[in-house]
Amino acid sequence: MKAIAACADGVKPTKDAASGCPTCVPMPFDGVKCTKSKTKSCAKPAACASGVEPKRDGCCISCVPAKTPKCTNEQKKACKDSIATLSECPASADPKSVFDADTCCMTCKRPARPKPEAKCSKDDFKTCIDAAPECGASEKPLREKGQCCVSCRRPARDVPLRTVAKCAAVSECEGDEKPTRVKDDSGAFSCPSCKPPKPVCATACGTKQKCVRSKKKLEKGEDTSTEGECKNKKVKKLKMKAKSAADKAFLKDATADEIKAALQEIVDRFCDKEDNAEKCDKFQKALTDGMSVKIEKVKNDETDVQVEIPDVEAASVRRRLADDTSSLLDAALADPDATGDIQVSDNTDTDTGNTDVDVGNSASSLSVNACAILLVCGTMASILG
């Protein structure tokens, strides 16, 4: 299928009669027009009516979900323990009604795989994630033992990394504001309403440390809390090389925050796979939340970056087993299903700060499917009417 081009300035997408896909893809967020001062001037949005999802009205948000889950560890554990006993969802079930925001869990489960204990192949994962319903505005993807992917599909995985990277321009959440998934009028991907603010540590961290969000706050799901703590850091050097003209242009002009958003999405895509659940459950939040990026060199279609990550490891596992945040990042970058049409290779040759890195010469690359910009056109067709 032919790749879908970006919409020209001021052009709204319509539905293509032949494919059911939008005729063009709108900008996920206009960071130039929607400045911080402009988004701050937006009126506080009211709760969305039943069946209505938030949309971006210019630089403002049309509404916010009436129920935004604040899932506690107790609820997460109760959900995990209960999934096996849930009945299968009937074929007529509305995918949007399966997740219960009050309990932070599903009300029914997907039909079992023929061999639920078998390792998931690449095709198994693709079949699973393509069939998964798109996550609602207040829904969190859940893991279900025996399945090959999480319970719902994050809208961000349907578009190229360079598109997700544009969400770096979204303003930070303020006060008790929570990030909300937003849909474009066409049903295409749009950036969330805000992004978690940077953590603040009461005491200045040392040169070999970085301020990261409190582990207790992350475990409680309070990703927008500004309470921070000093953690030792690792520094990794990565070389990023683009293949397509669009990705070359992205790398050439990308900001450090945009590179960070792209790397965070790579980790999130890796963690959409059930096979990676154990490592992701331990380190995903700490890694993606505590990551920071510095651009070192931009040359032609290559960009060298320095990535700082919190040095978090499993308490009961020896370091030589490489069960830590660094190993999760390495694994994500080495998974061709998690990255776009950009080669990412480890370029770390010296220790910087409090580092102890020995990850070899891992590299990853894959070609983005021409219609990856909108993975499931059937879903888009139903949204467009």
Which residue has tokens 């009961």?
316
Burial classification of residue 253, based on how many CB atoms lie within 10 Å of its CB (0-12 exposed, 13-18 middle, 19 or more buried): exposed
pLDDT of residue 349: 64
Residue boundaries of the structural domains of the chain = 73-150, 233-364
Residues 236, 38: Cα–Cα separation, whole Å: 36
Say if residues 170 and 194 touch (Cβ distance below 8 Å): yes
pLDDT of residue 44: 87
**Closest-CA residue to 283 (of 318, 240, 332, 236):** 332
| Positions of the chain with pLDDT under 70 | 1-3, 20, 68-69, 221, 314-321, 349-385
pLDDT of residue 377: 43
Kind of pairing, strands 182-183 and 302-310? unpaired
For 237, the token pair is 């050097």
Residues 213, 92: Cα–Cα separation, whole Å: 42
Report helix, strand or coil for 379. helix
- Beta pairing partners, 231: 210
3-state percent breakdown (helix, strand, coil) of the chain, nearest 5? 30, 20, 50
- H helix count then E strand count, the chain: 10, 12
Q: E strands along the chain, which residues? A: 56-57, 60-61, 99-100, 105-106, 182-183, 189-190, 209-213, 228-242, 292-299, 302-310, 342-346, 363-364
What global pTM score does this model have? 0.83
**φ, ψ at 346 (rounded to 5°):** -75, 125
pLDDT of residue 291: 95
Residues 183, 171: Cα–Cα separation, whole Å: 17
Q: How far apart are the first and last CA of the chain?
A: 21
